[in-house]
Amino acid sequence: MYPFLFLVSCEEPVEIRTLSYSFIKANTVVEVQSVPVGYTDELRATFRSVNEYGASIASSDVISYYVGDSNAEGQVFTDAFGYARPVIGEGGSVSLSTTEDKFFPYIQSENQALKLPQITPLESQPDIVERGTDGFLLTFGSQLHWQSALMGSQSYSVLNADGDILGLWSRHLDGDGVLDAVVWTEQSVFLMRGVPDGGMSWGGGLSFEDRVVAVSASDLNGDRIFDLAIGVTSDTDSIVALFHSDGNWGYIKGEEMLQPYPLEAMVAEDENRDGRADVSLIDESTGYVRRYTYDSAGWAGGLPSIIEPSQFIAPKGSHMPPMIDLNADGRNDLLVVGPEGANTQDLVFFIIQESFVIFRQQYASFLAEYADIDHNGSTDILTFTTEGLRYLWYGTDTGEFTANTFTGFGDKRPFSILDADNDGITDVVFFGEQLLLQPGSWSDEGAWRISPTIWTSYDNRFTEDFVVGDFDEDGVVEVVGFIMTGVEVKIETSELTLGAEENFLTSVDVYPFAGDLSDGLDFAQCGNDLIALTRRAEGGGDFVYEVRRFNVVNNELNRRASRGLSGELRMDCTVVDNQTYMVVGTGADWRLLRDDMSEIDTGPSANWVDIAVGDIDNAGSLDVRGCDTADCRIDMADLDGDGLDEVIINSGDITVEGWDTTVTLSQQGPHRIVDVDGDGFFELLVHNAQGLWVFRGSAGGLLPPFGLQINTDTSIPAHFVDIDGDGVRSPVVLRDNGKLAHPKQ
């Protein structure tokens, strides 16, 4: 009998590791929030019903609220995004029935294409910035905020993630035309749905056992609906899993790919539009860029399956942004961005044709944005370093890449791009302690650029006391104010005139003041009435003051004189029922005058340095106020359109009295009251080295300010006027060299 030989294996069966994940269920409303959002068309409140992650979700429960002092309860339901935006009508405070906290809806003005950088203060610098539809997504640690592109808007939280947010891409996940977002932390992926009229809502979430490295969103199966590819890693291996969308924010896990090395970065795309996913990834252990495609037999090597290490090895810390079409051939191309922090940083892109064409760019440490800035069908690349902003684009007519560099934007910080001023040209927005909008423009050659601020200057005869406007509505801008001719002050009306070689002011009318010596003391505008206060010498050394009301449309002129003056002299005016009233402080008392110069009232004004008149209480008579600290200035103006004036006092700190309170502005400097945007409401302007700050009023008080970078040598706030009839009011400044100037139109 022959012995039998048995071969017995002592090895355990090999278990193929699979993805460990779960969908996040967060469909319970835990709170209703009110958020500070302004609208450009009408007064509306904004409420959000939110889940445990602070993301809005739709609710069938009614939201109850109160308006003003009314005991009548308003009720509203959320929309499909979890937002409710009831119209408030005439305005007033709004409060939820569940809280006593009140807020005031307000009208938010559209951004104007002023050809000047515009500024919005931020509470802190965000970690990551992505553009959305009509706004931006900002991350602060574990929070995701929505920031409207409207200047002066405040951001608000739309997601409280389960850890620091490590990645963020904005993508069209549902095809409704509003940008959505994918957000990830170490263990979770959150899908955020873009909301019409601004904001973000809950789209879903997934939790993973392994560390999330990258999330890619694109159509991976040819159904024209964006799917997800999610890459997770351990210390020894990694998995890329596909999640296919049903088009209604539902996802089904599809193919997954296990690799025997940890994952550094990943991006997925259906590169050749064959309905099959193509995945590019970086092997963390070697830096090799490996590529895979999914076919009927499963995962196989892509074309090519690896970027030859002799051609490129990705440094540790590299990432892969979404693939983009760099050369307008209809096929998206691959990018690898090297790690930040080194002296130099690589940006490598691979044009995918029959074979790869590799382009390697090396800069100082940078951040990057990708968009078709010049609207030619190819995606352009903007990189921002401490050395400036570099714009790289592909010329579809030349077949070549070209780069331009723009400088002067300060330290590297997060940035994004958007047509924020609605002029059809891409703008660049920087995010530090301030949101800084740098407008874009086209060069004479048709290339995109950061818009330079080019000033048109005019030789000038006016002192600081002047006003600017098209007073007679003939399409020509006039300047009216004090001019000095020797020792005599005059009022002059001049028109801005462009010359062949230089620009100048064309004198239209001159109104001298009789006397041996005259000083221009104060100048004010109330509608088309211009009020001048002068002091002049007469025979014997006596001084008199003279108040003149001059109507620039009908050339009507009234005057009033008085004698025996001492102390500071200031003057102000206001309009009530289309009639101009004036007040003048004579050093010891003040006198209130009608437009025909007849006296209405008088009172003491001892020690007053400046004076103002207006209606602050609707008591049936005008109110006269003064300030008495050194070099102070006082004004009254209706900043919120309610018919009552607020009191502005500038004595170093600037305070505004109104709305049953007194607030101190966040900015200091000389101020001016002017209608910046032509909406019929006054704004309070403050000028300092940081910019020209615009404070708007609302029913509840002053709104957060926004600013303009004037970018020229001026020390006083600008005037605003429509220079060329395009409906946009541009600043007119008195430069330190004495010339008048406005941005080139």
pLDDT tens sequence across 88-99: 977 678 999 888
pLDDT band at 9; cut points 50, 70, 90: very low
What is the CB neighbour count within 10 angstroms for residue 735?
Answer: 17
Residue 599 is given by DSSP the state E
Higher pLDDT, 573 or 564: 573
Report the SS3 class of residue 729.
coil
Specify whether 370 is located in the same domain as 400.
Answer: yes
- Give me the number of domains the chain comprises: 4
Q: Which two tokens stand for residue 629?
A: 């600290």
Q: Report pLDDT for 14.
A: 47
For 654-667, how does the pLDDT look when each residue is reduced to its tens digit (9 = 90+)? Answer: 999 999 999 999 99
Regarding whether 139 and 99 lie in a shared domain, the answer is: no
Whether 608 maps to a domain, the answer reads yes
Residue 436 or residue 560, greater confidence: 436
- Cα(717)–Cα(508) distance, integer angstroms: 25
Token output for 353: 């044709």
Q: How many CB atoms lie within 10 A of CB 715?
A: 14
Report the length, in residues, of the chain.
745
Residue ending a domain, among 154, 185, 207, is 207
Q: Quick one: pLDDT at residue 354?
A: 62
* Residue pointed to by tokens 């005058």: 593
Question: Same domain, yes or no, for 103 and 132?
Answer: no
What is the pLDDT at residue 8?
Answer: 43
Q: Report CA 653 to chain centroid distance, whole Å.
A: 26
- Last residue of a domain, which of 606, 622, 638? 622
Q: Residue 370 domain-assigned? A: yes
Per-residue DSSP letter, 44: B
Q: How confident is the model at residue 132 (pLDDT cuts 50, 70, 90)?
A: very high
Beta strands 356-363 and 367-371 are unpaired
Cα 531–Cα 536–Cα 538 angle in degrees, nearest 5 = 140
- Statement to judge: residues 148 and 185 lie in one domain: yes
Residues 133 and 203 in one domain: yes
Q: Which of 321, 233, 225 is nearest to 280 (CA)?
A: 321
- Do 27 and 104 share a domain, yes or no? yes
700 contacts: CB under 8 Å, gap ≥ 6: 93, 102, 103, 104, 106, 659
- Whether 624 shows a pLDDT value over 90: the answer reads yes
Q: Which residue has the tokens 């007033």?
A: 92
Q: Say whether both 105 and 32 belong to one domain.
A: yes
Closest CA to 94 of 85, 102, 82: 102
Tell me which of 60, 81, 109 is where a domain ends.
109
Pair of tokens at residue 56: 């809005």
Peptide bond into 86 cis (omega under 30): no
Phi (first) and psi of residue 359, to 5 degrees: -120, 125
Task: Indicate left, alpha or beta for 56 from its phi (over 0: left) and psi (-120 to 50: alpha).
Answer: beta
Is residue 213, in this structure, part of any structural domain at all?
Answer: no
Q: In what order do the strands lie in the sheet with 633-637?
A: 633-637, 646-651, 653-658, 661-664
Percent helix, strand, coil in the chain, to 5, is 0, 50, 50
Print burial letters for 362-395: b (CB count within 10 Å at least 16), e (below 16).
Answer: ebebbbbbbbbbbeeebbbbbbbbeebbbbbbbe
Domain assignment present for 357: no
Closest CA to 178 of 159, 158, 200, 162: 200
Residue at 676 is within a domain: no
- pLDDT > 90: percent of the chain: 63
**15/707: higher pLDDT:** 707
Q: For position 272, what pLDDT does the model report?
A: 87
Rounded average pLDDT over 116-136: 95
* Host H or E run for residue 648: strand 646-651
What are the two backbone dihedrals, phi and then psi, of residue 540, each rounded to the nearest 5 degrees? 90, 0
161 and 186 in a single domain? The answer is yes
Phi, psi of 576 (to 5 degrees): -130, 125
The percent of residues in the chain predicted with pLDDT above 70, rounded, is: 93
Residue 114 has pLDDT above 70, yes or no: yes
Nearest to 326 by CA among 297, 347, 312: 347
Evaluated on CA atoms 118, 149, 125, 440, the torsion sign reads negative
Considering only residues 543 and 604, tell me which one the structure prediction assigns the higher pLDDT. Answer: 604
Q: How far apart are CA 153 and CA 396, in angstroms?
A: 38
Q: CA-to-CA distance for 519 and 133, rounded, in angstroms? A: 55
Dist. CA 550–CA 535, nearest whole Å: 17
Q: Which of 166-175, 220-229, 318-327, 351-360 has the lowest mean pLDDT?
A: 351-360
Asked if 84 and 43 sit in the same domain, the reply is: yes
Longest dimension (CA), the chain: 152
Specify if 511 maps to a domain: no
Instruction: Flag whether the pTM goes above 0.85.
Output: yes
Instruction: Tell me whether strands 455-458 and 31-34 are parallel, antiparallel or unpaired.
Output: unpaired
Residues 129 and 178 reside in one and the same domain: yes
Q: Identify whether residues 86 and 134 lie together within a single domain.
A: no
Confirm if 173 and 180 have CB atoms less than 8 A apart.
yes
Mean residue pLDDT across the chain: 90
Boundaries of domain holding 593: 567-622
Q: Name residue 647's beta-bridge partners.
A: 636, 657
* 430 in the same domain as 402: yes
Terminal Cα distance for the chain, rounded: 109
Asked, for residue 653, whether it belongs to a domain, the answer is no
CB 73 within 8 A of CB 81: no
Domain membership flag for residue 287: no
